[in-house]
């Protein structure tokens, strides 16, 4: 009997995707499920981006794309990096891929040999570690504790780097905590990395425009220009512009690394859809007012959810600076039993009981590498958030 490749043995299915699927299964049974598990904006794609894709289709721009991005797309990305991040890249330093995840996958496949280590601040997006494992690398988690605001401390980073370290991943604002790094925080990280010139740095800036309370986003190559030749700056249009289904991510970096990534990109992709690229050009070059308008709405949602959670005995929630997630601590609920008779021995038990008994889909902190927590996404309507928070409150109140 043919067998499956060994490389998949340690690669797991995304917990957030699994919980979203469970919510869909319950909904198919006629159950009203409140989904707070998906990191997907509920806003529409900007109309001008849709119109640009339509115009491109009518103009016949429907042939095979260039493998690493159309000239117009790369030019728009160059302008974006200069305008918003004070980073100078040439078109030859840009690669466009089918989503931010593919950028990361291609970068790791292009650089990691078996046994290479990748330092990942934890909690972290579920796919980082699995992508590293897929390439034969070793993910090295560095805990970012709640007491430190879920931020990466310089001393913890220093202790994690070894001669086998190939990459450091940065994702601030962070999924799942929403924590963001100030310029001083990022400068401290950069100071450590200057002492380790054998390590590449990948910064996942996908939540760049989702920051609140006057917080100012920064990216590491901007904060410390001496790291420019070792940094891969990754971004996309999915979160800020609500273009998740269009599938477009991009990165800027040193030419040699970009050439290697482009090589991998050419083997696992036929290039990103021409119509998607036309829409993304319009998004990056078009009116940007909607970014602040939508961030203001997310802030209102964040504050509402934080307020409701603060009223629930047994739950403690840190105030995030960005993204659209809250990562509540449920250590005080461990050991209790739900009204349905489920013993809460872990955050997995907590979220499974919540979805099965009260039909609210969230994601366990264990999926992101830190327990006992769970992730709430507030990238949904206030109506859903009100109902979801009410159900969570009742779920916890009924525990004994």
Residue 321, token pair as written in the block: 């600076």
Helix axes 255-268, 100-111, angle to 10 degrees: 110
pLDDT in tens, the chain (400 residues): 888 888 887 777 777 777 777 778 888 888 899 999 989 999 999 999 999 999 999 999 999 999 999 999 999 999 999 999 999 999 999 999 999 999 999 999 999 999 999 999 999 999 999 999 999 999 999 999 999 999 999 999 999 999 999 999 999 999 999 999 999 999 999 999 999 999 999 999 999 999 999 999 999 999 999 999 999 999 999 999 999 999 999 999 999 999 999 999 999 998 999 999 999 999 999 999 999 999 999 999 999 999 999 999 999 999 999 999 999 999 999 999 999 999 999 999 999 999 999 999 999 999 999 999 999 999 999 999 999 999 999 999 999 9
Domains assigned to the chain: 6-44+290-397 (3.90.1150.10), 47-285 (3.40.640.10)
Distance, CA of 388 to CA of 147 (rounded, Å): 27
């Amino acid at each position: 009997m043919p067998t499956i490749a060994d490389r998949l043995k340690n690669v797991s299915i995304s917990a957030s995707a699994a919980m979203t699927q469970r919510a869909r299964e319950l909904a198919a049974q006629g159950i009203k499920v409140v989904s707070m598990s998906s990191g997907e904006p509920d806003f529409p794609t900007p109309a001008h981006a849709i119109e640009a894709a339509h115009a491109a289709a009518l103009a016949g721009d429907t042939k095979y794309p260039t493998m690493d991005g159309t000239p117009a797309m790369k030019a728009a990305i160059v302008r974006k990096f200069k305008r918003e991040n004070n980073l100078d890249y040439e078109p030859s330093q840009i690669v466009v891929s089918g989503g931010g995840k593919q950028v990361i996958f291609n970068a790791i496949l292009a650089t990691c040999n078996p046994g290479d280590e990748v330092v990942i601040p934890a909690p972290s997006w579920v796919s980082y570690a699995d992508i590293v494992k897929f390439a034969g690398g070793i993910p090295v988690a560095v805990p970012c504790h709640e007491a430190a605001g879920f931020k990466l401390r310089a001393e913890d980073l220093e202790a994690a780097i070894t001669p086998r370290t190939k990459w450091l991943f940065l994702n601030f604002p962070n999924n799942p905590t929403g924590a963001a790094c100030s310029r001083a925080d990022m400068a401290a990280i950069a100071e450590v990395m200057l002492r380790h010139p054998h390590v590449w740095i990948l910064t996942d800036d996908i939540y760049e425009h989702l920051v609140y309370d006057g917080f100012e986003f920064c990216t590491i190559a901007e904060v410390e220009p001496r790291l420019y030749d070792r940094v891969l700056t990754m971004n996309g249009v999915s979160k800020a512009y609500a273009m998740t289904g269009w599938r477009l991510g991009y990165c800027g970096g040193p030419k040699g690394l970009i050439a290697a990534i482009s090589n991998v990109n050419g083997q696992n992709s036929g290039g990103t859809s021409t119509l998607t690229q036309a829409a993304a050009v319009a998004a990056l070059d078009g009116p940007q007012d909607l970014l602040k308008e939508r961030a203001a709405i997310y802030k209102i949602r964040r504050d509402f959810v934080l307020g409701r959670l603060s009223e629930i005995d047994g739950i403690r929630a840190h105030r995030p600076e960005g993204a659209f997630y809250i990562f509540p601590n449920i250590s005080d609920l461990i050991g209790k039993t739900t009204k349905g008779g489920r013993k809460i021995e872990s955050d997995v038990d907590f979220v499974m009981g919540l979805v099965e008994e009260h039909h609210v889909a969230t994601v366990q902190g264990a999926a992101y590498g830190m327990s006992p927590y769970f992730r709430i996404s507030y990238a949904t309507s206030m109506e859903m958030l009100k109902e979801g928070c009410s159900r969570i409150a009742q779920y916890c109140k009924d525990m004994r």
